Structure 1
Amino acid sequence: MDKSKKKAKNKAMFSAISVGMVLFSAHAGGGFATGNQANTYFINLGWASLLSVIIAMFLLTMTMREAMIMFNDHGLSSYKDLFKTLFHPFDKLVIFFEIFFYIMVIMAIAAAISGAASALQEYIPVNYKFYVIIVGIIILALTMFGADLVRKVSTVMGVVILISAVGIYLIGSFKGENIFNVFTVDFMGFGYSKVSMAIKNAFVYAGFQCVTLPTMIVCGKVLKNREEVKESMRFSFLINTIALILSVIMLSSWKSFYLNIESGVTLPTVLIIKEIGLNFLFVIYGICLVLCLLSTGVTTTFGFVARFENIKILEKIESSTKKRAIVAAFIICLSMIISMVGLTNIIKYGYGYCGYLAIAVVIVPLLTVGVYKNRTFGKEKDNLENFINETV
């Protein structure tokens, strides 16, 4: 193979992997690392949880694939343009994605505050509401003065927590109950009765994960053609599915332990590490988890502030710092109020209802109308290129 072609092929592969890793990092954030999301949407399904995980990750990566293909083929510049193209001639339907996106952003900030407060409470037992207020103040301060630093630190912390999480899942699976016995007993007791719920939960889980779509379509701009997009999402499907299955297997093998502890479902992974006796990892994982959750809160708040700091209501305020402070304080106070209901309720109800909305406005449209429009556009593009080549 020619060196230039080999170099181009390696570059394309690296781009595909890097974009696939973006979705993996976004998915395997603080909510995933706590074990709360997996416990809420999969553990009660027994053996069918594995089926549900596979369907959820297939739906998520296929949705992202069609979104990136449409975004790149049409040379679009924002998620608004993407959904206007998708919904055309009903362009104004884009408002439904915006409703989903901003509600989900508020839920994500609330979950970050609640998760960090719960984690701190696990290590140093103090009133939960006190930690919610402290975490809210820290996120506000960092949003105003240290967002860049936090984003840089969060990259390192994210890598550490992902590596340690996979290690914990593997060790925890061997230390817990025999997973084959757990799933066998479940199958003998329930058979295939949970399959319909497994499919429903897969759609909901994939739905609220679609909050990462605006980030994915921008990152996917580096992919040169449809094949690179497909390769990227195949890779992302593989690693996301493996990581989530490992998480589900470990939690399933320990559910008889943490489900019998008051508020055990809030941070099951942390409780399992503590029970196994991995004290060093317990401390390191806790620090990384809190930092990752703070990072999620800061970066999400920062993005929200950038979107709303120039609205008409704030036009009379000349100082951009004051504008940012007002918007940041508003969204953080609102998120703090929501966080009082607890991480489990935020993920179960907040994420859950957002997931249902995303099924209607993101997943189904992209996997039906989006697939049709992408294929039609692709054929027209190929026909035009063939015509030009024949003419030349």
Structure 2
Amino acid sequence: MSLVPAMLFATRHIRSRKEAVWAGGVAGPIAMIPGVFFYLALVGQYPGILERPVPANHLLEVLGSRGFQIAFQVVLFGTLIETGAGLIHAFNERIDSVYRMRGGEMPVRLRPVTAVALLLASYLLSRVGLVDLIGKGYNAMSYVFTAIVVIPLLTVGVYRLRSHRVPYSRHGT
């Protein structure tokens, strides 16, 4: 759910309902197929997999390939960096859109300040630890994201779509 704001930012080029349906129809299965294969691999290790803090790493241990484990960790690290950079950019773009909507321009110095603030928040969250963060934090985060993303989308967003009032478009259309 935390990626919804970034995904919505990335979909602003979609101009029609037909394009949206096609994009979802193609992207959905592309995103789900690897998840199905991962799930099937996890089921093969049930119930022992439940005790593992990082199930994907356990699957690679079962394969017995240290090379796969190292490659997985390198790819995972790269993916985390790429995702983090994309989320920081999406956050900055969201702030910029608010400035533009109000007829102003985001101060140039605010971008790096925002990035540093987000990195500092990430560092503080990392002190909790990955397993505890997932185990304890996801439940609380789901309520927060429901309050700040889902409810506004389903109320204000639907109202604006129905009334055809879109207050701001970066592309001027």
Q: Matched residue of 2:128: which SS?
A: coil
CA contact (8 A) 2:61 2:69 kept: yes
Deviation at 1:372, TM superposition (A): 6.5
Q: Matched residue of 1:224: which SS?
A: coil
Deviation at 1:273, TM superposition (A): 0.7
The alignment status of 1:288 with 2:79, answered yes or no, reads no
Residue 232 of structure 1: aligned partner: 23
Residue 246 of structure 1: aligned partner: 37
Give the alignment's TM-score, normalised by structure 1.
0.32
Q: Where is the helix percentage greater, Structure 1 or Structure 2?
A: 1
Structure 2 spans left out of the alignment, 5+ residues: 97-107, 165-173
Higher RCO structure (Cα 8 Å, ≥6 apart): 1
Structure 1 spans left out of the alignment, 5+ residues: 1-208, 309-318, 378-392
Aligned positions of 1:96-115 closer than 5 A: none
The one-letter code of the counterpart of 1:351 is Y
The one-letter code of the counterpart of 2:36 is I
Whole-Å separation in 2 of the counterparts to 1:233 and 1:371: 18
1:38-70 deviation per Cα after TM superposition (whole angstroms, max 9, x unaligned): xxxxxxxxxxxxxxxxxxxxxxxxxxxxxxxxx
Deviation at 1:243, TM superposition (A): 3.0
Whole-Å separation in 2 of the counterparts to 1:328 and 1:250: 37
The one-letter code of the counterpart of 1:223 is I
Give the one of 252, 273, 295 matched to 2:60.
Answer: 273
Deviation at 1:360, TM superposition (A): 4.0
Whole-Å separation in 1 of the counterparts to 2:10 and 2:117: 29
1:138-181 deviation per Cα after TM superposition (whole angstroms, max 9, x unaligned): xxxxxxxxxxxxxxxxxxxxxxxxxxxxxxxxxxxxxxxxxxxx
Give the alignment's TM-score, normalised by structure 2.
0.64
The one-letter code of the counterpart of 1:333 is L
Q: Matched residue of 1:221: which SS?
A: coil
The alignment status of 1:259 with 2:50, answered yes or no, reads yes
Aligned positions of 1:19-58 closer than 5 A: none
The change in CA–CA distance for 1:276 and 1:300 in structure 2 (over 3 A counts) is same
Q: Once superposed, which parts of structure 1, at least 4 consecutive aligned residues long, lie more than 6 Å away?
A: none
Deviation at 1:215, TM superposition (A): 3.1
Whole-Å separation in 1 of the counterparts to 2:159 and 2:82: 38
Whole-Å separation in 2 of the counterparts to 1:348 and 1:285: 22
Provide the identity percentage: 24
The change in CA–CA distance for 1:302 and 1:230 in structure 2 (over 3 A counts) is closer
CA RMSD of aligned residues (A): 3.6
Matched length: 152
